[in-house]
A and B are shown apart, each in its own frame.
Chain A
């Protein structure tokens, strides 16, 4: 895990994809919930995706103890 987090391409790519994925999920989920379809799993999946996409960034720093990246990205 720590090894993967040292790769800038990997952790930023994962963060970027998770953040982008949250947009359609939250939109669809929130609309479904507003239209009375009950609590939407999509909404919470989207929120979790956004939260994970955000958290992975400082986590990378705390888990690796640095913001330095792998040699392949330098």
Chain B
């Protein structure tokens, strides 16, 4: 590989990501149009400045479409389940039930937006937690933008060891670490992710009710962040693949005793300013007005309990996981390259997909069971009669929401694949490492992970893209490999807060497609702050 690492090419390599952010955040274009512009910018730069043949770009684009299918397999069934829940009064039943569980709004927002989302991330992935929790928070009475922002920020700590260790296992696949370095990487990642959990929890509380809420909710944040973050360390001794699942489950179980604590069982009268809450929903909730849903709260939660059980069983029971993962599909692609010697090997089944063990299969199964049960009990008909509305049909609703959500995800992944195949991603990372002294590189190492996650909306993809480079750079600059790799992993987790596919996923199920820029405007400052804190921690770990 003879990539030109100079200011011109580095700037050009960064340009597509800057353009995507500019179109979405500054110009407020829809995610579909901004994603398309990102693809166009990448393609033009690749053809004109990175000696990328059209065939290589075509293959890269097709691989990007395939990468997107992994996410679409979550979005479509998640939105189908959403349609069933809306059309049966399930969310209304859930909202009423949640409101009754604790009279403390802050506690409920934390329980759903942070703890439940983190639990889902620990066993599932590909954006499923956001797709599921965002409509629950809307049903509870949050403004839709906050209903997306809160779970996105709160669950990123569980990204690296989440989905039962997918990010961790993928990292071990791409870098060759001795057992001691591997464990040191896991431990140091956990230190950084503990701070991420703390920052995420505090931000959720602050978003709900600013400083008054922080004063009221700080013990809750400290306890939950302690369980989630510090709980990673004993879990690492059991098995790193359980390092998110065990503490996330412990935090979920801890909600019950915490809900009995008077401080969080009763309303907090001191929290007057609640910018995350939609006033009309609260008024309705308080008065108990509106049509009475046809099902109990327990029945409304039935799909999510079933989904969690399926996710755990299909991941933890190894023979079942092996059986479901046996059937795989994938498209073949030839080797392609660029004039600068960026070579991508041929593959007989690129990134083979195991559809039966994919989270989308569990979601689809849950959706179908939900439809059968709710239909048999007459919930759909009953809710339409109560609401005095004509139901246009779940499938029509699914198409109207799933297609606008799918298109930008395809364009983002096509863009990421083209950047990778043309060498723009490598140029970006190599450029930073070429000019940064060791201490500066240590500070910025997690930023490379953030950029990778922003481009691909995936912690795992970011680590697959950059882990080998980070190890090489750590060795060249005399930095500890474990610390730099931990920074990469933490950054790749944090970057998911601005991952466009995550944002689109939440926007689609929260019913605010087209307002992705509004969501990014709230998650971007947090991402930058979390990256800066992680950078400082990295430097401290290296030099103290």
A residues sitting closer than 8 Å to B (CB atoms) are 8-9, 12-13, 15-16, 19-20, 22-27, 30-31, 33-34, 43, 46-47, 50, 54-55, 57-58, 60-61, 67, 73
Closest to B331 in A: A27
A54–B33 touching, CB < 8 Å: no
Task: Tell me if B4 counts as interface (CB < 8 A to partner A).
Answer: no
Task: Tell me if B410 counts as interface (CB < 8 A to partner A).
Answer: yes
Task: Tell me if B320 counts as interface (CB < 8 A to partner A).
Answer: no
CA distance A46 to B59 in the complex (A): 9
Whether A58 contacts B40 in the complex (CB less than 8 A), given A19-B407, A30-B333, A33-B334, comes out as: yes
Whether A23 contacts B66 in the complex (CB less than 8 A), given A9-B400, A30-B333, A58-B37, comes out as: yes
CA distance A33 to B35 in the complex (A): 30
Q: Which chain B residues border A34 with CB–CB below 8 Å?
A: 334-335, 346
A61–B54 touching, CB < 8 Å: no
Task: Tell me if B55 counts as interface (CB < 8 A to partner A).
Answer: yes
Whether A57 contacts B407 in the complex (CB less than 8 A), given A23-B62, A67-B29, comes out as: yes
CA distance A31 to B335 in the complex (A): 9
Offer 9 A-B interface pairs, CB within 8 angstroms, sorted by A. Answer: A12-B32, A15-B407, A19-B407, A20-B410, A25-B62, A27-B331, A27-B333, A43-B58, A58-B33
B411–A57 touching, CB < 8 Å: yes
Closest to B54 in A: A47
Whether A50 contacts B411 in the complex (CB less than 8 A), given A27-B332, A67-B29, comes out as: no
Q: Which of A24, A30, A31 contacts B58 (CB 8 A)?
A: A30
Task: Tell me if B399 counts as interface (CB < 8 A to partner A).
Answer: yes
Whether A26 contacts B61 in the complex (CB less than 8 A), given A54-B36, A58-B33, A61-B33, comes out as: yes
A16 smallest CB distance to B (angstroms): 5
B334–A12 touching, CB < 8 Å: no
Number of interface residues of B (CB under 8 A): 35
Q: Which of A22, A31, A33 contacts B65 (CB 8 A)?
A: A22
CA distance A8 to B414 in the complex (A): 21
- Chain B 369-421 interface residues, beta-carbon cutoff 8 Å to A: 399-400, 403-404, 406-407, 410-411, 414
Task: Tell me if B207 counts as interface (CB < 8 A to partner A).
Answer: no
A21 smallest CB distance to B (angstroms): 9
Of the listed residues A25, A27, A33, the one surrounded by the most CB atoms of chain B closer than 10 A to its CB is A27
Q: Which chain A residues border B403 with CB–CB below 8 Å?
A: 9, 12-13, 16
CA distance A52 to B33 in the complex (A): 13
Whether A31 contacts B333 in the complex (CB less than 8 A), given A20-B65, A43-B55, A47-B54, comes out as: yes
Task: Tell me if B30 counts as interface (CB < 8 A to partner A).
Answer: yes
Q: Which chain A residues border B520 with CB–CB below 8 Å?
A: none
A23–B65 touching, CB < 8 Å: yes
Task: Tell me if B442 counts as interface (CB < 8 A to partner A).
Answer: no
A19–B410 touching, CB < 8 Å: yes
Task: Tell me if B137 counts as interface (CB < 8 A to partner A).
Answer: no
CA distance A24 to B63 in the complex (A): 10
B62–A27 touching, CB < 8 Å: yes
Q: Which chain A residues border B30 with CB–CB below 8 Å?
A: 67
B36–A12 touching, CB < 8 Å: no
Of the listed residues B40, B65, B335, the one surrounded by the most CB atoms of chain A closer than 10 A to its CB is B65
Q: Which chain B residues border A22 with CB–CB below 8 Å?
A: 58, 61-62, 65
Task: Tell me if B39 counts as interface (CB < 8 A to partner A).
Answer: yes
A72 smallest CB distance to B (angstroms): 10
CA distance A20 to B61 in the complex (A): 10
B59–A30 touching, CB < 8 Å: yes
Whether A57 contacts B331 in the complex (CB less than 8 A), given A12-B403, A12-B407, A23-B65, comes out as: no
Of the listed residues B35, B62, B346, the one surrounded by the most CB atoms of chain A closer than 10 A to its CB is B62
Q: Assuming A30-B62, A54-B36, A60-B33, what are 18 further A-B pairs, CB within 8 angstroms?
A: A8-B404, A15-B407, A16-B403, A16-B406, A19-B410, A19-B411, A22-B65, A23-B65, A27-B62, A30-B334, A43-B55, A46-B58, A46-B62, A47-B58, A47-B61, A50-B58, A50-B65, A61-B29
